[in-house]
Structure formats: structure tokens, C-alpha cells
Amino acid sequence: MEMKTHDPAVATDLPFPRQYGTELLVISRGKGVWLQDIAGKKYLDFAGGIAVNALGYGRSDLAKVAAQQMRKLNHVSNLFTTEPALALARLMLARGPYKFASVFFGNSGTEANEAALKYARLHSLRTKGPGHDRLLCFENGFHGRTFGALSCTPSAKYQEPFQPLVPGVLVAPYNDVDALKRVLDDQVAGVIVEVLQGEGGLSTMTPEFARALSEGCRKAEAILIADEVQTGMGRTGTFYGSEGVGLEPDIITLAKPIAGGLPLSAVLIPDKVERLIHAGEHGTTFGGGPVTTAVAAKVWELVSEPGFIQRVRQRGEFLRKELEALKARHANVGTLLGKGLLQGFDYTGGEVKDLLSRLQARGLLALRSGTNCVRLAPPLIISEAEISKGVQIIEEGLT
């Protein structure tokens, strides 16, 4: 692996496909909300592994669970089950405010959404009969890269090279109640939506739209899928982002943060769907293995501790105040977006990627969202002092 001379921690001549670019920073370790590259430089992490590392880095509690489980039992396939998988599913089902009957474990966000879309079609086929198979998604939504999820991710840059996609997908504008009413009828099997569009520009669902979706899906007997891959487990200041906007989903999909950085996703399935699924209709080899589910149970327990989510909400409000002050001082900070610890702003001073490189050079990692938004998704355990430090680095990068 060749190293660039100007930055000893940047790898070039990468042995990966070009989709990830031609040079990447090589990160070697992390602790708390800080990362370190192979040259020893430290970074305050406002990217969180793209909203994965809710509990931060260097967690000996999670490492211990993973190591113990790996020694005890690593994998059995879904021809059998294990104690950690049963325990995690039961923990998930016991949590309110929504009521679910079963959990399907997968390995990634896109796989969870793929399963959810298939369950919506099964439900429609077996309750409404053949033909009521439309899937409805929204502009600027992002649901993943496999064909079903990609077909519900209506951005040309993701979809165009891979046409033809799955047929029968309808697209409506986000947060537009009238447009929703025009398109949502009993031809629709499932509706997939984010309560905060993490990749597509940080728009937040309005309570009016949440109500219209919940009522509209009930009326059309369509399965309402809340894609909480990015927003689930406290990120937006409530355990499920859906709670924060009053959405009443039938299915919730979870992934990114649920297993402390290990690949695991979950589809929370209601009784009305669970009853209709036949043996063998869906599956996966690795999903819900004992190591990932053992770690996930520990993560679930920690995020469910009293005060955890409330602290995320407070930190989110603190971040918002810091960003408001920053906006007042800088013309290049446009509309403030998002909520909880998934926030950001429209950047009006040029290309976001240039700003992000300046921030990286100054020791702050952050993300892009949409075409020109800066997205901040730090570990949920971040302190106020670390938030202030991050915003200070953003300010330096702006000037």
C-alpha cells in the first residue's frame, strides 16, 4: 500500500473499487469520541462511522461481551437459534411504545429494508390479493443499495446506472400531505419513509405528514415502514425517531448503531404481517448470529438506561444553540437542519467536500448530506465540551 508523501496517514493506490475514491485516511484506533490515524494524529469524530458508533470507541464492556461469545459459540445459521438472539429479540419486543410480534435479523440497513418491502408485498398479496403491489417512497429518501431498497431511493445518482430497477415504485414529495393523498390508495402494498432524511439533506418529517401517513396507510391497508436505520436508538432524541413526530409505523427497520459497530440489522414485524409469512419465504445466513446479537443486547441495555435518551436530547439542544451562534457569526452557514444528535446546516460558501477536507485537516471528522449540507452525527455519549470544541473547529474551517 503506497502512502502519499504529503500526509503519511492517507493511503493511495487502494485495493478497493473506485466507488470509495482514490485515497482514504487510515484510522487505527479510537477512544470515546476521538479517533487516531496511523500517523498518530487525533480527530474529534462528528461522523460516528456514519451514525453507527452511538457509544463511541474503545468500549471494553462491548469487547468483553464479543470476546466471551466468540469463545463460547460463533455461528449456527438460522436452522437453529441461540440464547443471545432470543434474548435480544425479546428485549426489542418488550420495548414500547409500538407493539411488534417478531424480529427478523439481517446484516445491514439495506437488507432490513429489503426484507420489510418483501413483507409489505406478502401482506398485500394475502390480504388484498394479487396486483396491489405498489411501493411508495419519497423524494430525497435513502434506503440502501440493493435493488429493492435502491428502487425506493429516488435519486438519479444512485439509480441511473442500474436501470431497470424493481417496477411498481411510486415517488411522492416529502412532507406534502396533498400529494400523499393523491397517490396513496389500496394499490399500494407498502410505504417506506425516514422521519429525518439522513442522507438526503436532513429534512425532518412534520407532525402533519406523520399523521397523514399513519392514517393514509391504515385506510389503504398499506404497510407503513419507518426506516430508522439512521434515526433509531436515540439518535434524534427519542428512542425511535417515529415517536418524536407522532408516526405510527407498522414495521420499523433498525441497523447502524444496534450492535456497537458490528454488522446487524433488525426488522420489527407486527402481528398482522407475522401471521401471513410462510416458512422459507425469506432468510439470511449470517443475520442474528450469537456474537452480533450478544453485543447488541448490551448496547440496547445501555441506551435504555434511565436518563440516556434524555441526555441525548439535551446534548442535541446544546448543539443547536452552538450552531445558532455560529450561524449568527457566519454568512456561509445557511438553514440549520435536523435534530437530536443528527444535525447540520446548508453550507453556502462553496463545495461541502472542500469544507469537510479543511475540517479533517484541523482534526474534525464530519459528513455531507444531500447536495450541500454539512451533517453532524457524533457518538451519543459526546459531552458539551466536546460539542463546543467541534463547533469551534467548524468555525475555523469556515474562515
Integer Cα distance of 217 and 219 in angstroms: 5
Instruction: By CB under 6 A, name the one of 53, 69, 82, 110 that touches ligand PLP.
Output: 110
Vertex 281: Cα angle to 297 and 190 (nearest 5): 80
Q: 230 vs 242, which CB is nearer to ligand PLP?
A: 230
User: What CA–CA distance (Å, rounded) separates 214 from 21?
Assistant: 40
Question: Under rule CB under 6 A, how many of the chain's residues touch ligand PLP?
Answer: 15
Q: Tell me whether residue 191 or residue 229 sits nearer to ligand PLP (CB atom).
A: 229
Single residue of 48, 49, 56, 198 touching ligand PLP by CB under 6 A = 198
By the rule CB under 6 A, 372 interacts with ligand PLP: no
In the complex, minimum distance from the CB of residue 113 to ligand PLP, in angstroms, rounded to a whole number: 6
Contact code string over 9-48 relative to ligand PLP, x by CB under 6 A:
----------------------------------------
Query: CB under 6 A: which stretch of 32-40, 138-146, 240-248, 340-348 binds ligand PLP?
Result: 138-146
164 grid coordinates: 431497470
Cis before 97? omega within 30:
yes
From the number of C-beta atoms within 10 Å of its C-beta (0-12, 13-18, 19+), residue 165 rates as: middle
State which residue, 240 or 322, has the beta carbon closest to ligand PLP: 240
DSSP string for residues in 225-240: EEE-TTTTTTTTSSSS
By CB under 6 A, tell whether 255 contacts ligand PLP.
yes
399 CB-near residues (< 8 Å, 6+ apart): 330
- Binding to ligand PLP (CB under 6 A): which residues in 200-239? 227, 229-230
Interface region with ligand PLP, contact rule CB under 6 A, candidates 29-37, 142-150, 172-180, 272-280 = 142-150
Phi and psi torsions of 377, nearest 5°: -140, 65
Stretch that binds ligand PLP, among 95-103, 137-145, 217-225, 299-307 (CB under 6 A): 137-145
Residues 309, 303 contacting (CB under 8 angstroms)? yes
Q: How many residues in the chain?
A: 399
Q: Give how far the C-alpha of residue 335 lies from the chain's centroid of Cα atoms, to the nearest Å.
A: 22
Q: List contacts with ligand PLP (CB under 6 A).
A: 50, 108-110, 113, 142-144, 194, 198-199, 227, 229-230, 255
